[in-house]
Structure 1
C-alpha cells in the first residue's frame, strides 16, 4: 500500500513539473532559511553548556532597584570572594577575575623574553587559580592544581602556545608584558582553546596570586574591580542561598560606608540586593556592562518568529497551489472512491504526496544550507557549522514528516471531500470557500513581506540618522595611535615630532575617547558647599591641553586649558549635561567637588556623544591628567596613506621593536553600531527571501488562474476586449490582495519598529513615506510577477483556446 501511495505521488509530481518545481523550490528556500536561523538560535542558547559544572556555577550580581529604576553591577571588592566562601557552607569554591584595562588586562603588548619585537594581543585577564576548577578547563601542559599557584605565572591557550612556541612545550618559558612597565611572567600551563560558545574568552590567564594593584587593594571593601563566580555544592539551592546574601551588606559593606561617611551610599544600600546569575544566562543578559561580548534574547525571539513565518510562507504556497489545482485531480478522486477507496485512504495518499514534496525540499534545503552557511556566518558574525551527531538523522526524518503533514493536511482533507457523483456528472462546484482561503493566505504572505520591507527601511533610516547626526565632535580625519603608553616619558617628544609633519593640524594624548572600547570611569559630583548626598553621577576624563581642539569640540562658555596657566591643574571643563544636573546656570568660576578634591569650572563644552545613541548624554568633565594609552592625530592631508607612512616612520624612531597599532576615529565610531548594521542585513535578507517565496506562489497561482480563465478571455477578445482590459482583469484581484496586505502590515510594522527604536535615546522618526514606498514596492513586485502570465494569455489566439476548451 505504501509503495502504491509513493508511486502515485511520484507520477503526479512528474506530470505537473512546473507546479511541483515551484512547490519544492519554494519549500526548499523556506526550509533553508529556517534551518540556518535555527542553527543561529541553537548556537546562542548553547553558551556555557560546554562546562561540565555549568548547572552549579553562578556569577554574583548586585541589583539596585528604586522606584522602577533597575541597575545591575557585577564588579565587587576583592575580599568578597573569600567572605562568600567563609560565610556560606553552600558554596564549594569562589573565583575572581579582573578583565579591566586599567589594571593591565584586556589588551597588551607581549613578547618572548628571548626576542625583542613586541606583538599586540587581546584577551588578557587576571584570575584566581580556582577559576580553572570551576570551569574545568582542559590542560595540555601543566596541571590545574598548580598552574596559577605562583605569583607572576601565566596560563595560555593552545593557539597562542603554537604561535609563540612552535618548537614544543612552553612550560617554564618567560613572557614580557609591556604595559606601563615591562613585567615578566612564567608560562605554567597550556589549555585547550576556549569554545566559541563560552561567555568567558581569553588567551592569557594571569595568576592573581601575590597581585596587589595598590597598597591594601586586596583587603579594601571600597574598590569595585572584580567579577566573582561561585560553584555551589551538590544539592545546594541557589534561590535559598540568595535569601541569606543580605547579610553581606550588614556585615561587610555597611561598616566601610559608615567609617568613610558615605551617606549617599548608605541611603542607596536600602535598595540593593545580591543575586546569583546562572552562568548559562550571562551571555544573553545584554543589560549588564561587564567587558564581555553579549547576545540579545530579544533578537532570538524576533529571528525565531521570522523563521517560522518564512517557513509558513513556503507551506502556504503548497496549500494554495494544491487547492487551486483541485479540479485537475477531481476525476482521480471520483474514480478512486467509485472503485472502493475510503476517504482515509485518499487522505493518506495526499499526505504521502505532501511528505514526498517535503523530502525533496529537505534534500535541496540541506544543500543550500551547506552552500550558504559561510555567507550566513559572515552575516551574523558567528562561526557555525552543521552539527554531525547521532540525533540529526531522526530529527530530520521527524521534521520531513512534520512539515509534509502540516503543509498537506488541509489539501488532503479538502481533496478527499469531493463527492464522486458530482465529479463524474461534471457538476463539481469548487465553490468560493477555497478561493477565499487562498486569498487570505496570499494576503498573509504579502503582509509578512511588507512588514519585513518596512522594518528594513526603518533600520537603515536609523543608521543614516546615526551617521548624519551632529555628534558634538569631528570623527573625520583623526588617526588613533594605540598603546603609546609603552613610549613612557618619550611620548610628549613623539607628539611634538608628529606636529612637525606636514598635514597634521594637532595631536592629543588621552585614552578617553568618544568611542566604545576606550577608557571610562564613574564618579560622583556635587557643588562646593552642597551636600554629598545631593551628588550626581558622571565621568571624569583625563586629557591634555590639545584635546578639545583635536577632537573638534565646541566650547559654548569659558575657555580651553592653557599651558601658561598653572592653576589649570585644578581646573575643570564640564559638558552641558553636567551643568544641568548640578543646576549651574552660571557655571564659570564655580567649584565642583568629587572624591578627588575640588575643581574650578573654566569652561563648558557642548554636549558630545561618548556612548552609542542608545543612551542619553551623561554628565562629564575634562581635567588635565595622564592617560597615555592613545595619541590622537587630527590630519588635514588628502593623502592619508602617505601620512600614515610618515607617522609610522616617526614611531619606529621611538619604538623600533614595537609595530605601530593604529585605527581611525570614524572607523571606531562605525564599529559601535555593528549590531544595528547586522540586524539591518539580516532583515533585508529575510525580506528578500519572503518576497521570493511569495512571488513563486503568486506566479504559479496566476498561471493557474490564467489557464482556468482562458476560455473567458478568448470570448472577451472575440467580442473586442483590448489587451489592456484583459491585463487589468487578470491582475486586479491580485493587486487588491497586495493592497490589503500593505494596509494590514503598516500598523504591525509601525508597532514593532517603534518598540525597536525605543532602545535609542536619539532616534529617527517613522514617516508615512516608508509605508508608501514599501507598499508600492510590494505592489510593483506583485504586478511584475503576474504580468508574464497575464500577457501570455492575452497574446494567445482566441481560436486555439476555444478549441481546447
Structure 2
C-alpha cells in the first residue's frame, strides 16, 4: 500500500485507510488530496459531524471498477499445491505410525462419542415436535404455591373439559385423558369375543373423542370423527390389530376385558402407533363417551382424575387465557369448597392457579409436574452435551500436543520452504490441510465405531437410536464437522509451526520439543481434570444407586411374588387360602396398590370431622387393602391395630402413616375421625415407608379396607424360588385353567423405579472410561516422545551408574505431578457438581473422602501404567546401541 504522507485534516481515519486499501496507487494521492481539501471547506462551513458524513460518502462513492486496485494473480497451481500437501501429509503419517495411530484413534473416539451423544440429544429434544400445530397444543395443569404444600399436578375434575369447550372461545378443542392405572386404564386381560384365552396387555388409557383430533392420531381403519363417539368403544393400535385380527379390518368387532362378558367393547378404529418420540405410548384408547365410574361422577368436583389437552385458536394468547381460566376456579371449584364448608377456599384463591404447558415441553419439562408419565431429564441433555464437548476437547488436545511436541521434526521442512520462497500463509494452509486430512480419516473411523457401538448404547440408554442415513442434512453436517473440527484442532499447531524462522532452523537453535512445553502441561492437566471429575461422579452415582436399592425402605421387598390379574379370579379368597397351604408361603394379600411405581394410585383430600371450618384439608394417597396387606409387606404398626376380617365396623376404619398423623398434628391418632367424602375412624398408625421414588419425602398415606384388587402379593421364604414359582403356578392353573399365570418380583419392580437413573449412571461410567482412554492415549504418546527426545541423556546416565528405578522415576515424576495437580483442581469441582445432583434426592448418601482418595489413586495408577511401558523400555535398553554413533 502506498505510504500516506497527507495530513488527514481530522477526517475519519478508518475511511482514509479503507480508501488506500481499495484504490489504485496512481490515483490515491491526487484523489485523497482533493477529498481532504473539500473536507476542510465543508468542516468550516457545515461543522465536523456533517463534514465527516459527506467525506465517508465520497470514499464509498469513489468505489468504482476503474478505481479498484488490481490484485496480482498468483501463478501457483492450486491443484498441484494441494496435491503436494496431501502427499506430504500422507508421508508424514506413514513415517510416524504410532503417533498417527494415536492421533487418529483418539480423534475417532472423541468424534464417535460426540456423534452418539448428538443422536441421543436429538432424540430427547425431538419429543412431540412432529405436530403441525405444536405451538397451539397445550396440556393444562394445576399450580399451587403455598409454602410446604406447593406442587404441580395434571389431574382435573370431570366437568372441567366441557366448561372449557363452551365458555372459552380461545379454545378450539378440549379433550380428557386418563393416563394412569384407574379402572380399565393401565393394563388388562384382553381377547377377541370368539376366543377362549385372554392375553395380558398394557398400554390402556381412557380418552375423549376429541383427543384423536387434538393429538392428530392417524387412523388406518375407521373414521377419526366417530371412532370414540359411541359408548363402550375402543381404538387399538395397528400392531395389536395385526396380532388379534391378522389381515382383517377389525372395526365393528367385539373384544372382552378382564373376562367381563357383561360389558363387551366394540372396536371403533385402528390407529397408527404413537411415534417413539411421543410422551404418550398407548396401544388402546377407551372411550369416555357416556362413561360414569360412579353415580354423579361426571358432574362432581370431588375427584380429580382427568388430564386435559387443548388446541387453541391461531390468534389465542396462552398467557391471557391462563388469567381467564381463573374464573373456572373461582366459580366452580371454590364454589364446591364453600358448599363442603372447607376453609381452604381462601388459600385456593391465593395460591392456586390453572396453567398451560406446551405439549412439546412435557417430556423434558423443567418444572416437576406429577402426571404419572415417563419423562426425560433436561439436565442429562445438558450434562451429556457437556461431556461430548469435553471428550472432543480431550481428543483435540491430543492432536495439538503431539503436533507441537513433534515440531522439531518439521522445523527443517518449514525452514527450507521459507528459504525457497514460501510465505507463512501457505504454510498455515499446508498444516491446516494436514489437520483436515486427519479429521477426515478420523471421521470415517468414527462412523464405523458408532455403527458398532450403537446397539450397546441403545441397551444402556433404553433407546432405539440409529444413524439417519436418509436425512438430507446428514452428509452436509458431517462435511461441515470435518472442516470445523479439523480447523479447530489444527489452527494452533499451524500457526505455531509456521512461525519458525529459517535462520534459527538452519543454525539449529530450535530446541527439540521443549518450546511451549508449559502449554502442553496445561493441556494434560485439563485432560486429567476432566477425566477425574467423570470418575468421581461415576463412583458417587453408583453409591447413591446402591444406597437406594439396599437401604431399608419400611417394607420387605425381598422374596415377594406379584401375581398379576387377580381381579379376574372367580374367588380371590379361595386362591389366597390355597396359596397359604403351600410350604414356604408366609402370607398373601390382594390389592391394586403396592409401594412401587406402576401400581394404582388414588389422591384424595382429608380433613378432620367437624373442624373443616377451622383447618384446611390435607392431600394424601388412599389405598384399598385387605387385612393381610400390612403383614405380607412386612410393615410395622406403631400405634393401634390392623384391620380385622370379623369386624364389620372396619369398613369405616382407616389406618394412616406417621407422615399423615404429623400433618394433622395428632398426638394420639387412634380414635380420631377424619373425612374424605365419608367419615373414617383412625384405628392404627403404620410406620413411614417409601411408596414413591426416594427423590421425594414420604407423603401422607391412608389405608382403607377393600377386599378386591388386581395383584396377589405372595410373601415366601425359600431357597428354591423356581420350585416355589412352580407350586404357585399349579394353584393358579387349578383356578384359571385357560389363563396363563403372569408374575413379577417386588424387588425387581422396585429396582425398575430407578432404571433411568441406573442407565444414565452406566452411560456416565462409559463416558468416564472413554475420557480416561483418550487422555491416556495422549499421555502415552507424550511419554514416548519424551523418551525419544532424551535417549542419549538416559544412556549417559546409565553408563554413569544410574539404576533402572532412578531412570523410571526421572521419566515419570513430571507426569505424576501433572496428574496430582489435576486431582487438586478436579476434587472441589466434582464435589460441587455431585452435591447439586444429590439435592434431587430426599434420601441420599454423604460424599465422603474415600471417594476422592480412590479416584485420585486410580488416576495416578492409570497414568503410571500408561507411561511405564515407555519408561521401563527406555531404562532397559543397552546404552551402547544409542551412543554408538557418537
TM-score under structure 2 normalisation?
A: 0.88
Q: 1:255 aligns with which of 313, 332, 335?
A: 335
| Contact 1:94/1:228 (8 A) holds in 2 | yes
1:318 paired to 2:399: yes
Return the offset for 1:12. Answer: 1.4
- Structure 2 vs 1, CA of residues 321 and 431 (structure 1 numbering), >3 Å: closer, same or farther? closer
C-alpha distance in structure 1 between counterparts of 2:228 and 2:538, whole Å: 50
Within-5 A mapping of 1:137-148: 137-148=217-228
1:577 paired to 2:659: yes
C-alpha distance in structure 2 between counterparts of 1:451 and 1:577, whole Å: 38
Query: Partner of 2:630 in structure 1?
Result: 548
| RMSD over equivalenced CA pairs, Å | 1.8
Unaligned runs of 5+ in 1: none
| Contact 1:110/1:176 (8 A) holds in 2 | yes
C-alpha distance in structure 2 between counterparts of 1:443 and 1:549, whole Å: 57
Aligned length: 803
Q: 2:559 aligns with which of 471, 477, 493?
A: 477
Q: 1:350 aligns with which of 412, 431, 447?
A: 431
Q: 2:676 aligns with which of 569, 582, 595?
A: 595
C-alpha distance in structure 2 between counterparts of 1:430 and 1:803, whole Å: 21
Return the offset for 1:51. Answer: 2.2
Q: 2:850 aligns with which of 760, 764, 769?
A: 769
C-alpha distance in structure 2 between counterparts of 1:243 and 1:690, whole Å: 50
- Structure 2 vs 1, CA of residues 235 and 432 (structure 1 numbering), >3 Å: closer, same or farther? farther
Within-5 A mapping of 1:273-288: 273-285=353-365, 287-288=368-369
Return the offset for 1:175. Answer: 0.9
Query: Partner of 1:688 in structure 2?
Result: 769
Query: Partner of 2:134 in structure 1?
Result: 54
C-alpha distance in structure 1 between counterparts of 2:159 and 2:621, whole Å: 26
Return the offset for 1:681. Answer: 0.4
| Contact 1:572/1:601 (8 A) holds in 2 | yes
Return the offset for 1:509. Answer: 1.6
Return the offset for 1:204. Answer: 0.9
1:113 paired to 2:200: no
SS at match of 1:320: helix
Query: Partner of 1:36 in structure 2?
Result: 116
Return the offset for 1:95. Answer: 1.5
Query: Partner of 1:453 in structure 2?
Result: 535
SS at match of 1:637: coil
Query: Partner of 1:668 in structure 2?
Result: 749
Query: Partner of 1:798 in structure 2?
Result: 879
- Structure 2 vs 1, CA of residues 455 and 58 (structure 1 numbering), >3 Å: closer, same or farther? same
Deviates more, 1:269-278 or 1:782-791: 269-278
Deviates more, 1:372-381 or 1:649-658: 649-658
Query: Partner of 2:602 in structure 1?
Result: 521
Query: Partner of 2:216 in structure 1?
Result: 136
Query: Partner of 1:241 in structure 2?
Result: 321
Return the offset for 1:431. Answer: 8.2
Deviates more, 1:763-772 or 1:600-609: 600-609
C-alpha distance in structure 2 between counterparts of 1:568 and 1:60, whole Å: 38
| Contact 1:50/1:195 (8 A) holds in 2 | no
Deviates more, 1:246-255 or 1:290-299: 246-255
C-alpha distance in structure 2 between counterparts of 1:521 and 1:787, whole Å: 62
1:782 paired to 2:863: yes
Unaligned runs of 5+ in 2: 1-80
Deviates more, 1:753-762 or 1:554-563: 554-563
Return the offset for 1:800. Answer: 2.1
Within-5 A mapping of 1:196-345: 196-285=276-365, 287-345=368-426
Return the offset for 1:618. Answer: 1.7
| Contact 1:706/1:789 (8 A) holds in 2 | yes
| Contact 1:79/1:219 (8 A) holds in 2 | yes
Return the offset for 1:602. Answer: 3.1
C-alpha distance in structure 2 between counterparts of 1:726 and 1:349, whole Å: 39
Q: 1:604 aligns with which of 685, 698, 702?
A: 685
C-alpha distance in structure 2 between counterparts of 1:180 and 1:307, whole Å: 53
1:713 paired to 2:794: yes
Q: 1:655 aligns with which of 732, 736, 739?
A: 736
| Contact 1:129/1:148 (8 A) holds in 2 | yes
C-alpha distance in structure 1 between counterparts of 2:148 and 2:290, whole Å: 42
Q: 2:645 aligns with which of 556, 559, 563?
A: 563
1:14 paired to 2:94: yes
- Structure 2 vs 1, CA of residues 281 and 666 (structure 1 numbering), >3 Å: closer, same or farther? same
Return the offset for 1:562. Answer: 3.0
Return the offset for 1:263. Answer: 2.1
Deviates more, 1:662-671 or 1:135-144: 135-144
Return the offset for 1:245. Answer: 2.3
C-alpha distance in structure 2 between counterparts of 1:95 and 1:779, whole Å: 60
Query: Partner of 1:404 in structure 2?
Result: 486
| Contact 2:338/2:345 (8 A) holds in 1 | no
- Structure 2 vs 1, CA of residues 95 and 529 (structure 1 numbering), >3 Å: closer, same or farther? closer
Does 1 or 2 have the higher relative contact order (CA < 8 Å, sep 6+)? Answer: 1
TM-score under structure 1 normalisation?
A: 0.97
Q: 1:539 aligns with which of 621, 634, 644?
A: 621
| Contact 1:129/1:147 (8 A) holds in 2 | yes
SS at match of 1:187: strand
Return the offset for 1:767. Answer: 0.6
| Contact 1:147/1:189 (8 A) holds in 2 | yes
C-alpha distance in structure 1 between counterparts of 2:620 and 2:722, whole Å: 38
Q: 2:838 aligns with which of 741, 749, 757?
A: 757
| Contact 2:560/2:714 (8 A) holds in 1 | yes
C-alpha distance in structure 2 between counterparts of 1:621 and 1:247, whole Å: 33
- Structure 2 vs 1, CA of residues 606 and 251 (structure 1 numbering), >3 Å: closer, same or farther? closer
C-alpha distance in structure 2 between counterparts of 1:804 and 1:58, whole Å: 80
SS at match of 2:264: strand
Deviates more, 1:793-802 or 1:234-243: 234-243
C-alpha distance in structure 1 between counterparts of 2:228 and 2:661, whole Å: 48
| Contact 1:104/1:179 (8 A) holds in 2 | no
| Contact 2:405/2:514 (8 A) holds in 1 | no
| Contact 1:108/1:179 (8 A) holds in 2 | no
Within-5 A mapping of 1:628-647: 628-647=709-728
Choose 1 or 2 for highest CA Rg.
2
- Structure 2 vs 1, CA of residues 597 and 88 (structure 1 numbering), >3 Å: closer, same or farther? closer
C-alpha distance in structure 2 between counterparts of 1:181 and 1:747, whole Å: 65
C-alpha distance in structure 2 between counterparts of 1:292 and 1:465, whole Å: 25
- Structure 2 vs 1, CA of residues 153 and 61 (structure 1 numbering), >3 Å: closer, same or farther? same
Q: 1:175 aligns with which of 245, 255, 261?
A: 255
C-alpha distance in structure 2 between counterparts of 1:279 and 1:628, whole Å: 34
C-alpha distance in structure 2 between counterparts of 1:243 and 1:584, whole Å: 38
Query: Partner of 2:163 in structure 1?
Result: 83
Return the offset for 1:203. Answer: 0.7
Query: Partner of 2:546 in structure 1?
Result: 464
Query: Partner of 2:269 in structure 1?
Result: 189
| Contact 2:533/2:826 (8 A) holds in 1 | yes
Return the offset for 1:529. Answer: 5.3
Return the offset for 1:514. Answer: 1.3
- Structure 2 vs 1, CA of residues 524 and 132 (structure 1 numbering), >3 Å: closer, same or farther? closer
Q: Deviations over 1:340-384 (max 9, x none)?
A: 111111111111100000000000100111111011001100011
Deviates more, 1:683-692 or 1:223-232: 223-232
Q: 2:780 aligns with which of 679, 699, 706?
A: 699
- Structure 2 vs 1, CA of residues 739 and 605 (structure 1 numbering), >3 Å: closer, same or farther? same
- Structure 2 vs 1, CA of residues 690 and 333 (structure 1 numbering), >3 Å: closer, same or farther? same
Q: Deviations over 1:371-422 (max 9, x none)?
A: 1101100110001111121111110000000110011111111111111110
| Contact 1:27/1:315 (8 A) holds in 2 | yes
Q: 1:99 aligns with which of 179, 182, 185?
A: 179
Return the offset for 1:587. Answer: 3.0
Return the offset for 1:600. Answer: 3.3
- Structure 2 vs 1, CA of residues 495 and 201 (structure 1 numbering), >3 Å: closer, same or farther? same
Return the offset for 1:456. Answer: 0.7
